[in-house]
Amino acid sequence: MSVQKPAVIYLDDEEINLLLFKEMFKKDFEVFTTTYPEEAIDFIKNNDVEYVFTDQRMPLMSGVEFLKELEAMNVTTSVKKVMISGYAAEGEVSEAIDKQLIDRFIDKPWTYDGLKTVISTI
């Protein structure tokens, strides 16, 4: 009998980050990655997702806007949310934390060990 791995989604406009994340965490999680916020939203609507990772600065929708969309859909009550960004303005990150849109913030560039530690502590 196989144990089902927790589902994780990572939204980022930088394809290399998505490829690295998927490769590093494929043994631990069922990983879905996308550069399109609407794809991410559809995936979350239709799957039991345990973790949401999002970049902040993206061309189609910021990470904060994306997380607000999820909050409005009431799908994130048990989902752990992590923002990963190298460009997040302090005000935007503070807003996301204050409004409890994210559980953690991680600066880019991220490392496997750094993300693994965050995952194990939220």
- What are 33-82's pLDDT values in tens digits? 999 999 999 999 999 999 999 998 888 898 889 999 988 887 656 789 99
Find residue 70's DSSP bridge partners.
none
Taking phi first (over 0 means left), then psi (-120 to 50 degrees means alpha), and beta for anything else, what does residue 78 get? alpha
- pTM equals 0.89
Count of C-beta atoms within a 10 Å radius of residue 49? 22
Our measurement of the distance from residue 61's CA atom to the centroid of its chain's CA atoms, rounded to an integer in Å, reads: 14
25: confidence class by pLDDT, cuts 50, 70, 90: very high
- The amino acid at 65: E
**Residue that is written with structure tokens 């997702």 in the block:** 49
Radius of gyration for the chain, computed over Cα atoms and rounded to the nearest angstrom: 13
Say whether pLDDT at 88 is over 70. Answer: no
**Cβ-based neighbours of 108, under 8 Å, separated by 6 or more:** 17, 55, 84, 85, 86, 87
Q: How large is the average pLDDT for residues 79-87?
A: 86
11: confidence class by pLDDT, cuts 50, 70, 90: very high
Rounded CA gap, 20 and 93, in Å? Answer: 24
Say whether pLDDT at 1 is over 60. Answer: no
Question: Which tokens belong to 61?
Answer: 């929708």
What is the three-class DSSP state of 51? Answer: strand
Residue 63 half-sphere exposure, CB side, CA atoms within 13 Å? 32
